[in-house]
Amino acid sequence: MDILDNVNLLINYALNYLDLDKDDIIYAYNFIIHKIGISGEYKYRKVHVKQNDLYKIIFTFKQFLNNGTSDDTINEILSFLTPKPSQIINKYHSFNNKEDAFNYFYNLQINNNYIKKEEIAKNIIIKDKKSKYKIIVTINLSKPEKDNKEIAKLINNNQDIIYPKCALCIENVNNFKNKKLDLRIIPLKLNKQDWFLQFSPYSYFYQHCIVIKNNHEPMAVCLDNIKALFDFASQYKFLFIGSNADKPIVGGSILNHEHFQGGNMIMPLMNAKTKREVLINNFNNVKTYLMDWPCTTFKFVSKNKKDIINAIDNFLNYYKSYNNKEINIDCNYSTATIIARYFNDKYEGYFILRNAKTNNEYPNGLFHVRDNLQFIKKEGIGLIEAMGLFILPPRLKRQLKDVDYLLKNYAKKDEIYAKLPYLSEFLPMVNAINNKEVKSINDYLIKACIEILFDIDIFKFANNKDKTIDEFLSLYNKKEG
Ligand SMILES: [Zn+2]
C-alpha cells in the first residue's frame, strides 16, 4: 500500500473511531507526515474503514518506518488523534447513564490502541469444568512477571523526587517518560474524595478498570477505603470493584499508591456456593455467609450501604486483632482483600482473610504459594486470583510447549533435561501427568491453581478448619454482643 493511502486510511479511521472532527483533517495530516518524515499534497478521500483495520494501518506504518522507534512514533500519532482528556470527560458526562458512558470510554481506549485488543485475544484461557470452584486460568502474554521482594522494596523507596511518582499517578496522562501518551482518565468522587478511573492496558478480563486515588498515598485497607469501594459500587452497578490487601506477598504489585481494580465480569468466587450463614452481631440488616471457597471468605449482603460498610469495618478490626499461635496467625500481619458490588438490588461485600507473615521455614510467606508450585506462579496472589481468575506469566506459553515435548518424547528425557535444564522445576507437573494423577497439562494447571488458593488460606494450619472458624466467629460475636 502507498504510504499516503495509509495516512488517508488512518484519517478515515480517526474520523470514525476517535471522534476526529472534519475541521481537524489538515491539522492531523500535517502532524502525521511530520512524524513519519514524508511531505506532499493531500486530498482527503472518504474510504470505508473497520475497527480491526487499525492493526493493518499500524503494520503498514511499521514496515514503512522500519526502525527501532516505530512503536513510539505510532503511539505519538494515535495519541495525537485521540481527543484531549477534557473532551473525553465532557462526552462521558453527556451520556444519560453510567453504563453507556463507561462503554464509550472503554471503546475509545481500544480504538486508540491503549488497550491492545489484538494482543489480548492471543492470551490463553483454560476453564475449570471439573471442580466445584469453576476457576479460570489465563496465560497473559503482555503482562510482565514481578517479584515479591522487588514489590516490597518499592514501598520504602523515597520517590518524592521522581516524576510521576509511580505508574498509577494521574501525572502519567500524556507522559512521554512512561510512554502513557494514549492513557486517558475520568475523574470520580468517592467518599467525598478525588479519585479517577482508567483502564488496565493488560485487560485481565472484560472491561478491566483501575480506580485510583488522586493523591499518591500508600494502599490501606481501612474504613475510608471500604466507603470508597461501596460508593463506586453504588455509582457503577454493572461492575465489581475490589481492593488488594495493603501488604506485600498478599497484595498487588503496586502498594505505594491507593487503587482498586474492577470490571464487568462475574468472578468464580461470586458464583461459588455459600457454606452457611453466620451470625455477625449488631448488624441486623446485614446477612453474612461463609463461602464454600478454598481460602476463607465471608460474604456480606445488605440493602443498606451504610450498614454493610460498618459491618465489614467492624469485622476487619476484629480480624486485625485476632491472634492464634497454634495455627500461626499473628495479627500484626493480618489484612484483607475486599470486593464490593451491587447485585440483585443489594450490596455485596466479599471479605477474604489474608496474612503476610514470613518466618525461617516460610521465607516467602506462610500463606503464600508453596515452593513446589512457584514454577507456575511466584508473585503475590492478589484480588483477581483470590477470586479464582488466575493470571499466569507469559513465559509459561513457551515453557509448557517444552513440557509437552518432554512428555511426548519421555524416552529421551535425559537428553531433553540436559538441553533445557530449567525443566527440572516442572518435575511436579511432569510426574503428576506421567503417574496419571491428572490427564493433561491444562488439568494440572487448574488443580495447581486451586491448591494455590488453599495455600493462601489463613486457617490452613488448623487440624479442624470448620471448628477453628466457628471458634473464630464465636469469639467475635462474644466481643460484639
Ligand atoms: Zn502514584
Ligand 1 centroid distance, CA of 45 (Å) = 44
The confidence band for 115, taking pLDDT boundaries of 50, 70 and 90, is very high
d(CA 336, CA 386): 11
- The predicted pLDDT at position 160 comes to 55
- The predicted pLDDT at position 245 comes to 96
pTM: 0.94
Find out whether 231 and 327 touch, Cβ atoms under 8 Å: no
Ligand 1 centroid distance, CA of 165 (Å) = 5
- The predicted pLDDT at position 146 comes to 72
Q: CB atoms < 10 A from the CB of 68, how many?
A: 7
Q: CB atoms < 10 A from the CB of 469, how many?
A: 19
Ligand 1 centroid distance, CA of 255 (Å) = 9
Determine the average pLDDT of the residues in 277-297.
92
Q: Identify which of 180, 188, 212, 165 has the alpha carbon closest to the alpha carbon of residue 79.
A: 180
Ligand 1 centroid distance, CA of 213 (Å) = 9
Ligand 1 centroid distance, CA of 168 (Å) = 5
Where do the structural domains in the chain lie, given as residue ranges?
Answer: 3-81, 120-161+216-221+232-389+471-480, 395-455
Contacts 24+ apart (CB under 8 A), 418-424: 423/399
Ligand 1 centroid distance, CA of 166 (Å) = 4
Q: CB atoms < 10 A from the CB of 419, how many?
A: 10
Ligand 1 centroid distance, CA of 240 (Å) = 23
Ligand 1 centroid distance, CA of 97 (Å) = 30
Please tell me what DSSP assigns to residue 283: -
C-alpha cell belonging to residue 232: 463506586
Ligand 1 centroid distance, CA of 386 (Å) = 24
Determine the average pLDDT of the residues in 1-16.
95
In tens, the pLDDT along 175-229 reads: 988 889 999 999 999 999 999 999 999 899 999 999 999 999 999 999 999 999 9
The amino acid sitting at 68 is: G
Ligand 1 centroid distance, CA of 109 (Å) = 21
Determine the average pLDDT of the residues in 140-164.
69
Q: CB atoms < 10 A from the CB of 436, how many?
A: 7
Q: What are phi and psi of 340, to 5 degrees?
A: -125, 150
Please tell me what DSSP assigns to residue 212: E
Ligand 1 centroid distance, CA of 262 (Å) = 18
Q: What are phi and psi of 329, to 5 degrees?
A: -95, 110
In tens, the pLDDT along 398-433 reads: 999 999 999 999 999 999 999 999 999 999 999 999
In tens, the pLDDT along 443-471 reads: 999 999 999 999 999 999 999 999 999 99
Ligand 1 centroid distance, CA of 118 (Å) = 29
Average pLDDT, the chain: 94
- The predicted pLDDT at position 150 comes to 65
The torsion region of residue 203 among left (phi > 0), alpha (psi -120 to 50) and beta comes to left
Q: What are phi and psi of 391, to 5 degrees?
A: -115, 100
Burial class from Cβ neighbours inside 10 Å (0-12, 13-18, 19+) for residue 442 reads middle
Ligand 1 centroid distance, CA of 417 (Å) = 44
The SS3 assignment for 165 reads: coil
Ligand 1 centroid distance, CA of 259 (Å) = 9
Ligand 1 centroid distance, CA of 202 (Å) = 19
Find out whether 272 and 293 touch, Cβ atoms under 8 Å: yes
Ligand 1 centroid distance, CA of 183 (Å) = 15
Block residue for cell numbers 487503587: 259
Question: What is the distance in angstroms between the CA of the first residue and the CA of the last residue of the chain?
Answer: 76
Find out whether 195 and 160 touch, Cβ atoms under 8 Å: no
d(CA 380, CA 255): 12
d(CA 27, CA 431): 63
Determine the average pLDDT of the residues in 159-181.
87
The SS3 assignment for 12 reads: helix
- Checking if the pLDDT of 159 tops 60, the result is no
Determine the average pLDDT of the residues in 161-169.
89
Q: What angle do CA 312, 391, 233 make, to 5 degrees?
A: 35
Ligand 1 centroid distance, CA of 215 (Å) = 7
The SS3 assignment for 354 reads: strand
Burial class from Cβ neighbours inside 10 Å (0-12, 13-18, 19+) for residue 104 reads middle
Ligand 1 centroid distance, CA of 201 (Å) = 17
- Checking if the pLDDT of 164 tops 80, the result is yes
Percent of all residues in the chain with a pLDDT value above 70, rounded to a whole number: 97
Out of 156-170, 294-308, 353-367, which region has the weakest mean confidence (pLDDT)? Answer: 156-170
d(CA 173, CA 23): 25
- The predicted pLDDT at position 156 comes to 55
Q: What are phi and psi of 397, to 5 degrees?
A: -60, -50
Strand partners, 209: 199, 262
The confidence band for 162, taking pLDDT boundaries of 50, 70 and 90, is confident
Ligand 1 centroid distance, CA of 257 (Å) = 5
Ligand 1 centroid distance, CA of 465 (Å) = 40
- The predicted pLDDT at position 152 comes to 66
Burial class from Cβ neighbours inside 10 Å (0-12, 13-18, 19+) for residue 361 reads exposed
Determine the average pLDDT of the residues in 139-151.
75
Block residue for cell numbers 486457617: 459
Give every CB contact of residue 227 below 8 A, 6+ residues apart in sequence.
Answer: 190, 191, 309
Ligand 1 centroid distance, CA of 337 (Å) = 20
